[in-house]
Structure 1
């Protein structure tokens, strides 16, 4: 399955692109689908910021993202790098105390706030000290009314964005009135982009949601659940090592990631991933095979006659099919993950002892008994050990699909 997003450029007074508004799509049809607004926002965040790194949709300039009321009061924008996004407060948001507190908090955290489709209602006045950009809809308000408003407030520190500019005459009028930014079909229609979806298993996500609802959160249990799903593993390591979290040294395992983020950020991470994929059908075969390979690598490392790190072996196994899952070249995906040189070389080059473990799995899966024997000898183990690990892993997989019981 694929993830879709449209982006429409935002230009300055010299008609140079300074950012893009990201618009959620769920198919090739370039129009907003019939989907609940908070679900659309969650999917947009996961599919364009957590899943594939700095892809075309989010590269270079800032991205403007629509946030409905529930997403704002839950502070979901905190998952994103503040220097790369502009938070658009949707016009459907009621200007109540909860929203005011959320906007003020996001402002103090350094985020840029924009009021989308601003309707000039006086109830928004108390928000103004915490707002950077006001977007005025030329179709909704009309060119003259929008321009008059900007002319009356040109001395404020605010920037004004003219959206849905359809003609050159409207652009010239908006620029003369003092607008700073411009968006609309006169400049460009939204451009549709797509990426492969990263979709955690439904059952795993439900188990994780239950765990983060406990007080206090049992981090070892959360770590076990995340490590059981290749997509969650990838998303977590991508997220914690993204531009939003610049650490002195990369974070390369789940335990470090959970400790670094802390309870509140983990709850945000899990909730947005769960909301993004609550209604998406997910193919199981590749996920199960990835988990099977991870478990076998871990157990083979423990039983090897040479010194092998079982945690590193697990990572090599769980990410060994990542290119098939995401339909992207493995070297490009691995650039986004802070894996050790040993794991990196094993996955890309099949070099080193971990490379031998992965080659052993391939040989065993293909009933290539000659190479199975060769890699067993190199790893200091017997073929009987490999067969035992394989059958133990199948039994483990069958039991692991059952949710944890309280």
Structure 2
């Protein structure tokens, strides 16, 4: 088990109300930027936070995210909900044709852009119709100089943000100069937030990258890989939901992959691959999630309650998610478009799938009286439950051994 870290610094309006947060990647409890490639920092930040529940992180405000030039050219921002993010173009970006075409495309898709640490230059002029916010570092560009540029931009629908505001006097001066948004230590230092994170296993990522690099993707094979990895399974369902791709609940991973399509699937796998920074061995809870998923699937195939085996697999896999992330299941599942039967089973332990999870937990705890009672209702003979359990243990151990041998 590892932890993910993110620092957020509020961006305020002239009434000192929170307008949004700039999200900053951190690789540990020290609230400083790590020595890491910018593209990897952005990928890790997005993978850890936008593929997980981010309602607490953003508090329904906008997220300002630094995107390196190549990430924008690769249309990585298009993986994320346009209503939630502002794409910051970094000051070191080269305003070439590739970047221009990507910005124009994403703008037409409804995404918002900010120019970070802007220094006035004619090279950026053609980008201005697609820019929503321009950020000036007032430690580099004094407010008086920035005001000259602001006054010259009255014909554009652009808002101006003053960065590194450190005193009340600077805040008032920036307001008088035409700034509408503000960020800096005068208001708040970046706040460090920590949460548990589940890392995708190395071998799974390697196989997925190999598969999505092909001209024609084998969805059945991709599904088989993702269903062996709790982190990818959870991130995939979160991503499908956050991308507003669906209107119905997900009943299987195959359905989720079908909603994505090849291009978005390739970008999703690439982003997660870049973000994967360690190869920790699967924890006992990680192994339990695999074993329960397979156990539930086998029981569904052989039971008499006509439980869909794909639903059973999802239910078993996610039944330990609260223990892995130290957060309540209802909170974790709130933004995942799972079938109501699965959510009922996980949150309330009710319905045929809930009964199955109760049976699995009773078997794990050697509560044979409860096993007997539930197995009679499910129409599964006790000896066969033992066989399913042994097969699920063999399968999960095989998956774990495969990942260990790849390191």
Unaligned runs of 5+ in 2: none
* Offset at residue 282 of structure 1 (A): 5.3
User: Which residue does the alignment assign to 2:146?
Assistant: 146
Query: 2:220 aligned with 1:211, yes or no?
Result: no
1:379-394 to 2 correspondences below 5 Å = 379-394=378-393
Looking at structure 2, the residues matched to 57 and 31 of structure 1 have their Cα atoms a distance apart, in angstroms, of 18
Distance 1:21 1:340, change over 3 A: same
TM superposition score normalised by structure 2 = 0.93
User: Which residue does the alignment assign to 1:103?
Assistant: 103
User: Which residue does the alignment assign to 2:233?
Assistant: 233
Root-mean-square deviation (Å)? 1.9
User: Which residue does the alignment assign to 1:332?
Assistant: 331
Looking at structure 2, the residues matched to 305 and 17 of structure 1 have their Cα atoms a distance apart, in angstroms, of 55
1:370-381 to 2 correspondences below 5 Å = 370-381=369-380
- Higher mean C-alpha displacement, 394-403 vs 162-171: 394-403
Q: Assess if the C-alpha contact under 8 Å between 1:6 and 1:193 holds in 2.
A: yes
TM superposition score normalised by structure 1 = 0.93
Unaligned runs of 5+ in 1: none
Distance 1:153 1:282, change over 3 A: farther
Q: Assess if the C-alpha contact under 8 Å between 1:5 and 1:57 holds in 2.
A: no
Q: Secondary structure at the match of 1:11?
A: strand
Looking at structure 2, the residues matched to 50 and 339 of structure 1 have their Cα atoms a distance apart, in angstroms, of 15
Query: 2:21 aligned with 1:2, yes or no?
Result: no
Give a deviation string over 1:360-396, Cα, whole Å, max 9, x none.
2222222223322222222212222122212222333
Q: Secondary structure at the match of 2:140?
A: helix
Looking at structure 2, the residues matched to 246 and 74 of structure 1 have their Cα atoms a distance apart, in angstroms, of 20
Give a deviation string over 1:72-121, Cα, whole Å, max 9, x none.
11111001111211100011212222111111111111111111011223
Q: Secondary structure at the match of 1:305?
A: coil
Looking at structure 1, the residues matched to 276 and 101 of structure 2 have their Cα atoms a distance apart, in angstroms, of 28
Give a deviation string over 1:2-47, Cα, whole Å, max 9, x none.
2211111112222222111111112222121122111111111111
Looking at structure 1, the residues matched to 169 and 229 of structure 2 have their Cα atoms a distance apart, in angstroms, of 54
User: Which residue does the alignment assign to 1:93?
Assistant: 93
* Offset at residue 324 of structure 1 (A): 0.9
- Higher mean C-alpha displacement, 314-323 vs 363-372: 363-372
1:7-406 to 2 correspondences below 5 Å = 7-52=8-53, 54-242=54-242, 244-245=243-244, 247-279=246-278, 281=280, 283-400=282-399, 402=402
Distance 1:284 1:57, change over 3 A: same
Give a deviation string over 1:297-336, Cα, whole Å, max 9, x none.
0001111133222111111101110101111011211222
* Offset at residue 60 of structure 1 (A): 1.3
Q: Secondary structure at the match of 1:162?
A: strand
* Offset at residue 346 of structure 1 (A): 2.1
* Offset at residue 292 of structure 1 (A): 0.8
* Offset at residue 131 of structure 1 (A): 1.4
* Offset at residue 353 of structure 1 (A): 2.6
- Higher mean C-alpha displacement, 9-18 vs 367-376: 367-376
Q: Assess if the C-alpha contact under 8 Å between 1:10 and 1:19 holds in 2.
A: yes
Distance 1:249 1:352, change over 3 A: closer
- Higher mean C-alpha displacement, 125-134 vs 320-329: 125-134
* Offset at residue 127 of structure 1 (A): 1.5
Looking at structure 2, the residues matched to 291 and 35 of structure 1 have their Cα atoms a distance apart, in angstroms, of 32
Q: Assess if the C-alpha contact under 8 Å between 1:72 and 1:99 holds in 2.
A: yes
* Offset at residue 339 of structure 1 (A): 2.5
* Offset at residue 280 of structure 1 (A): 5.7
Looking at structure 1, the residues matched to 367 and 247 of structure 2 have their Cα atoms a distance apart, in angstroms, of 44
Q: Assess if the C-alpha contact under 8 Å between 1:241 and 1:251 holds in 2.
A: no
Q: Secondary structure at the match of 2:263?
A: helix
Looking at structure 1, the residues matched to 393 and 384 of structure 2 have their Cα atoms a distance apart, in angstroms, of 14
- Higher mean C-alpha displacement, 102-111 vs 378-387: 378-387
Q: Assess if the C-alpha contact under 8 Å between 1:114 and 1:131 holds in 2.
A: yes
* Offset at residue 398 of structure 1 (A): 4.2
Give a deviation string over 1:336-371, Cα, whole Å, max 9, x none.
222333322322222233222222222222222332
Looking at structure 1, the residues matched to 388 and 368 of structure 2 have their Cα atoms a distance apart, in angstroms, of 16
Q: Secondary structure at the match of 1:32?
A: coil
